[in-house]
Structures are given as structure tokens and as C-alpha cells.
Structure 1
Amino acid sequence: MRVPTEFASSARSTVGLEWEIMLADPDSGDLVGRAPELLHVLEAQSAHERHTVTGELLTNTIEVTSGVGGTVKDAVDDIAAAIGAVRRATDPAGIELLSAGSHPFAQWFNQRVTEKTRYRKMIERTQWWGRNMMIWGIHVHVGVEERRKVMPIISALSAFLPHLQALSASSPFWAGERTGYASNRSLVFQQLPTAGLPWPIRTWEDFENYLDDMIRTGVMRDASEVRWDIRPAPRWGTIEIRACDGMSTLTELASVAALTQCLVEHFSRQLDVGIPLPGLQPWFHRENKWRTARYGLDARVIVDSAGSQVPVRDHLDAVVDDLRPIAADLACERELDGVRAILRGGASYARQLTAADAAGGDLREVVQHLIREFREGPEHGTVD
């Protein structure tokens, strides 16, 4: 018998953010596995704050998480406070911070796994692929007030995962090699069991049936081990978008969060008035994901079930226009306008490639570029 999966009560279109941060040596730029020595104090300090600071799979990573934000600004302010707290620990310790979907030259065999049972079990099961999960991302949670809306919104929002992936793409290098991909991370991450694009599940009952199958056969323990690019987060009462590479700057994180929040609210309003939500064939979703992983903001994406194709830049520009009234209602107009700033200035993958070319291919300079961007913003990250 299927065990019902509860979906927590959550205020509509509230926002929560998670951001995975790399720890690096300021001189060499290589990763340093020093999170355990910092986290005892940082976790205790964040216990009474809206934000949290925690560890991740690898000891070279710290994750910062916002509280529940009524607006994108609320959640971003929490993240800024968390980063400030981390810097008060890392600056005296001689550790720099950066974020991207991948580190330009670090090697997997030099990294240590955090001492937690669930991480050890994952590595034991996934072996080489698990050890190669040197990837960093952001997660955007948006509150959904009715469980019946969750799977239809996930289905409709899946058509925009390539757009979010293109905006956030920041992993053009892997273990010292220029991959030719804007987001190599997205293709690596989908190698894990239960990761990748969601199955075409239409109702909450069908999602419960999926969970029952997976738990009963020992594939996973609970819903938290569903690692789709977009998934329900029953514990929080949210839809969680996980398709994005690690954002290199806080302002760009805010823009992607605003676009995500507005899209969820847009689809929620359509359901409120009985408008069927649009969808694409699963094979179009897969192709769009590959295209934006490969070409980033230069990709052409399939935008309807008839197979119409447009440049993702043009489609994003039009979508931002369409969502402006919703952004006004949600008080995130400025953050949503930041999407156009990314379109004008280029996503992180493009800026990293420019930095590498300017330095004659020296990837240590790409790390210094990312360190500057993380601290000061994209306009300050260029190589002198």
C-alpha cells in the first residue's frame, strides 16, 4: 500500500536560497579541505539567525542557506549575512571564497569526503562518478500553497530549466581542461542515480507511487534522495529548482531567484483560473538541456510542442517582459531586470573563458577572476 507523503504548509511564492561555496588557497587558487575546522563555530553562530551555514559532500565546500523570504530581497539579504559571517572566519584563516559550477583545475583525487554516513554511503554506491562530484550549485525554493499544484507547475517549469541553466552556466573547465561546454556540471551531475530531468509525473498521487516504487526497491530512503533538476521538497512545502550551476556573484543569484519566483507565480495564477499549463515532449526537454549545457546563452531552444526554435537570449528577453507585472506584485522588479544584465554582460562561463584567454590559458588566473567576482561583483572580476 502506498504511504501518503505529506507536503508541508508553505506561504505562496515565498523564496528560499541555498548557495554552495568553494574554499580556496589565496595564492595557488587550489581547493582546500578546511570546512571542518570552520563549521563548528559557524554552525553554532547561525543557530539563532535566519541564515544557516553548513557543510557539504566535500570538505572544500561550505553551504549557506537563507530563511524563508517574503521577497527575493529578504532571502538575498540572508545570504549576504551568511557570507559575511563566513568571511569573518575565512579571512583570518587565509582562505578565499568563490563559486562556479566547477573549479577550473582541481582534481577529484585530491579532495576529501565529509565524515557523514550518508555521504560515505553515496560514494560507496556511486564509486568513480560519486568521487567526481566536484560540482557546486544553487538551489531555489519557491513556496506552493496547495499540493495539487506542485506536479503541474513542475511539468510547466521544466520547459524553463534550460533558460535557468544558460543564465547560471559557469563550468566551462573541468580538471584543467577546456571542455567546450558552458555547463559541464549539469552533465556530470545527471550521472548520479535519481538525478537529471524529472519523470513526466502529472499528479501528487503519481509522485507518491514513484516514491513507493523507489523506496520499496531500496533505490532511496525518502523524498530527499530525489535529485532531479527540479523536484518537490515536501518537508518545506516548496518546489526546488536544482538545475543551476553555482552562481559566481550574489547579484546574479538574485536575478535567477527572481525569474524562478515569477515563473512559479505565473503558473500558479494560470491554475487558479483553470488554464491548462503548457508542456513539452520529454525528448524536447532533454535536447534543450543538452543545448544550453553545450552553448549556454548562445543556444537555440525548442519552445513549444510543435518544435518552434528561438535563441534562448531572445526568449529570455521576451519572458522578462511578460513577467514584469508579476515581478511588480512580488517586489522583485529590480532583481528580475538583472536577467537582462546577464544577457548583456555574459554569463559566468563566458567571462571565465575571456579571463583564460587574457591570461594565455593560465587557469590560476581564472580562479583569481572568480575570487574577485565573488567578493566585488561581475564588473570587478576581469583580468587586468
Structure 2
Amino acid sequence: MEIPFAQSPRSSVGLEWELMLADQDSGELVPAAPGILQVLDGGEKITAELLTNTVEVTSDPRERVGDAIGDIRSRVELVRAEAERHGVALLSSGSHPFAKWQDQNITEKSRYRTLIDRAQWWGRNLMIWGIHMHVGVDDRRKVIPIVSELTKYLPHLQALSASSPFWAGDQTGYASNRALVFQQLPTAGLPWQLADWEGFEGYVDDLVRTGVLAEVTEVRWDVRPAPRWGTIEVRACDAASNLFEFAAIAAFAQCLVEWCSRRLDAGEEFAQLQPWFHRENKWRAARYGMDVELIVDRDGRELHVRDHLAELLPALEPIADDLGCRAELAGIHTILDLGAGYQRQLQVAQRRDGDLTAVVKHLIAEFDAERPLPVR
């Protein structure tokens, strides 16, 4: 099966943010998306998602992360203005602290009904929200090597973005419960280690012929080729609660892709980490978040994620200068200082005697403030 790969400007960026719709007073999720979207008519930039309690906003393709974030901000404001007329607040994180799947409605689209019909209980449990980041690649031959190399850094992205410590009112003990729920879907989770684009075409062809996939967009890897757009799409991250963190994580992803592209241009061949190490690193990042010890090379050397980021970020900063996202990338240090989203949620719950409504109100406050807020 031949899969064309569209042309896109090298290391251009496109962003997607999944937003929850909640009652302004109770914090309960509300099925307000159909009414809001009917009024807004946002085309492909403001759209429905699996559940009617969710709206997704998307940027235009941009050279700079800051410009893509500007697109997101302007579309969020459109959604916010209409949501307020319905008594609805906006917030975002990898999971809602106390909502239950039994109380939610599925969006009336055939592809969602097909997903639920196949995945059953796991599909109905997809009470998860994420951020997705597309980064342009200038040569199709680079795509699979970059996807493979990026898999080493998905745990870093997952830890920095982790924001789903609660599930249906329970404290899970995981920084990112979302990461482990989502991988239950067919074709979701870590990418297979393939040699080249032809290997990817063969993979898709096998699954289409056997009825696993209808088409290539149903490959739901944590980082995947997006042939329609000519990009690599990073999908491993929990949703950020605010634009500041979203911008920082997006800049990190953009710089990683460009860093990999430059290394390929210089003739480097990437050393693949063993698949069992990738699997272990994903689980560790989901479980421990910013306290994770990662396996960082084929010999099994382990480093705390903060120490590995301290090695990595200086190498990315000159690239960030070239891409115009140095300020956004510096936001990673703010996440390291204030704590990731899951840590702030746990702090709020602890200081409010386990009141998860207070956690929702904190998430709404961070969404409105467009930045992480210290827990007081």
C-alpha cells in the first residue's frame, strides 16, 4: 500500500487542545458541545470530540510555536464566550477528577460509534483529554527514523505534561492514568520499531487487509506519522491546564523533531533503545511523573528525568533560537520549579481534605490565568 506524504515546511508546527466543558458551580462535566458548536461553526478549527463534554481547538500551521498558541488563544476565546452563555466553564487536564463515564454522552458520528462498538468498555471509559503537536518533516525518508528516535523522549514529554492523577473520584497513584487507559485501544500506544517508510506502508497494509484499520488515521501511536499534513504528530501528552505549559511542551516537541532532523542531515544513524526499555519507561513515567528514573541507553544506564532534561535542554536551546521558540522552551524550567499539573492537583486535594471540586476550581483558575498557579 502506497501512502503519500504531503509536503510541509520543515519544523512548522500545528497544535490541538482538547477542552472540557463543566458546570460553572458544581464542576461536573456537561454535554454542551453540540449547542456550542452549532452556534460557532468553527469549521476544522473548533470541532467535536468523542464525548459531548469536549471541544477541540486547533491552530493553523505556523513556523513559530508562539503564533500557533496565538491561534489557539483566539479560538478558545470564541468557545469561552459561547460557553459562558450556557453557564459552562472551560478547563483542561488529562482526566476529570471525579466525573464518571456512565454519565457522559457519545458524539453522534459514525466513526465514534464504530470505535465504541469495537473497544466496548475501554472505549466507553475514554474520559481522557490531551494535547497533540504536529511538526513538519521535509523528507519522507526521515519520518520513521525520527519517530523511532522520539520514542526515547516520550517519557520526558509524558512526565512534564502528566495531569491525570484522579479517575472517577479515586486517587490512582499514577501521575498520568490517561497514558495507560488510552493504550488499551487497538493500534494505540508506543510505535512499532520499523526500518523505513516502506515498513510503515507494509504495517498499514497488513492491518487494512485484516480489518484492523479502515485507513491510516486510525494508527493511534503515541508519536505517529501524519501523512495528510506532512508531519510527525506527538500524542503522548496529557492535556495542559493552561496555555503557558502547552507552549513550553510544544516548543520542546518542535525542537526535538528539528534536532533529530539535523542529526540525520549530518549522517548520524540513531541507536534504537530496546522495545522492552521503551515499554518500561512509559510505565515509569505514567506512574511516577517527575520523580521517574528513566533507562536512557542500550546498556541500561538510568537517570532521573530532571537530570536527563538538564543534559538535553542546553542542546536544544540553539535550535529554539533558530525556530523562534526560546522563550516558550524556557517554560520547561517553570514546570520543573512549580511542579507538573498532576503534582499541583494532588497538592490542592491534600490541602482541601480530599475535596476534588476544589481541584476542578483550581484547574478552571489555571485555564483562565493561562499559566500554572502556585497552590496556597
Say whether the fold is shared (TM-score over 0.5).
Answer: yes
Residues 71-120 of structure 1: CA deviation (Å, up to 9, x unaligned): 11111110011111111111122100110000000000000000000100
Q: Given the alignment of the two structures, is residue 217 of structure 1 paired with residue 210 of structure 2, yes or no?
A: yes
1:204 is matched with 197
- Aligned partners of 2:144, 2:83: CA distance in 1, in Å? 41
Pairwise CA distance, 1:382: 3.3
- Aligned partners of 1:377, 1:139: CA distance in 2, in Å? 18
Residues 300-335 of structure 1: CA deviation (Å, up to 9, x unaligned): 001111111010011112211111111111110000
1:352 is matched with 345
1:252 is matched with 245
Residues 1-384 of structure 1 mapped to structure 2, 5 A cutoff: 3-42=1-40, 44=41, 46-47=42-43, 52-380=45-373, 382=375
- Aligned partners of 1:17, 1:206: CA distance in 2, in Å? 27
Q: Which amino acid aligns with 2:85?
A: P
- Aligned partners of 1:378, 1:21: CA distance in 2, in Å? 15
- Aligned partners of 2:201, 2:277: CA distance in 1, in Å? 25
Report the 3-state secondary structure (helix = DSSP H, G, I; strand = E; otherwise coil) of the residue aligned with 2:56: strand
Q: Quick check: 1:17–1:140 contact (8 Å CA) kept in 2?
A: yes
Residues 128-172 of structure 1: CA deviation (Å, up to 9, x unaligned): 010000000010000001000000000001000000000000000
- Give the aligned length: 376
- Gaps of at least 5 residues in structure 2 are none
Normalising by structure 1, we get a TM-score of 0.96
Pairwise CA distance, 1:380: 3.8
Report the 3-state secondary structure (helix = DSSP H, G, I; strand = E; otherwise coil) of the residue aligned with 1:275: coil
Report the 3-state secondary structure (helix = DSSP H, G, I; strand = E; otherwise coil) of the residue aligned with 1:157: helix
Report the 3-state secondary structure (helix = DSSP H, G, I; strand = E; otherwise coil) of the residue aligned with 2:121: helix
Q: Which amino acid aligns with 2:74?
A: A
- Give me the identity figure in percent: 60
Report the 3-state secondary structure (helix = DSSP H, G, I; strand = E; otherwise coil) of the residue aligned with 1:243: strand
Residues 156-189 of structure 1: CA deviation (Å, up to 9, x unaligned): 0100000000000000000000000000000000
- Gaps of at least 5 residues in structure 1 are none
- Aligned partners of 2:263, 2:91: CA distance in 1, in Å? 39
Normalising by structure 2, we get a TM-score of 0.98
Report which stretch shifted further, 84-93 or 23-32. Answer: 84-93
Q: Which amino acid aligns with 2:275?
A: P
Q: Which amino acid aligns with 2:27?
A: G
Q: Which amino acid aligns with 1:153?
A: I
- Aligned partners of 1:84, 1:278: CA distance in 2, in Å? 44
- Aligned partners of 2:118, 2:108: CA distance in 1, in Å? 16
Runs of 4+ in 1 over 4 A off after TM superposition: none
Q: Which amino acid aligns with 1:13?
A: S
Report the 3-state secondary structure (helix = DSSP H, G, I; strand = E; otherwise coil) of the residue aligned with 1:118: helix
- Aligned partners of 2:11, 2:117: CA distance in 1, in Å? 38
Report which stretch shifted further, 88-97 or 208-217. Answer: 88-97
Q: Which amino acid aligns with 2:276?
A: W
Pairwise CA distance, 1:379: 4.5
- Aligned partners of 1:295, 1:350: CA distance in 2, in Å? 10
Report the 3-state secondary structure (helix = DSSP H, G, I; strand = E; otherwise coil) of the residue aligned with 2:149: helix
Q: Quick check: 1:372–1:381 contact (8 Å CA) kept in 2?
A: no
Q: Which amino acid aligns with 2:240?
A: M
Pairwise CA distance, 1:273: 1.4
Task: Summarize the Cα distance change of 1:379–1:144 in structure 2 as closer, same or farther, 3 Å threshold.
Answer: closer
Residues 16-68 of structure 1: CA deviation (Å, up to 9, x unaligned): 000000000011111001100110222x2x34xxx810000000000000000
Q: Quick check: 1:317–1:340 contact (8 Å CA) kept in 2?
A: no
- Aligned partners of 2:135, 2:109: CA distance in 1, in Å? 28
Report the 3-state secondary structure (helix = DSSP H, G, I; strand = E; otherwise coil) of the residue aligned with 2:300: coil
Report the 3-state secondary structure (helix = DSSP H, G, I; strand = E; otherwise coil) of the residue aligned with 1:231: strand
Pairwise CA distance, 1:381: 6.3
- Aligned partners of 2:151, 2:272: CA distance in 1, in Å? 8
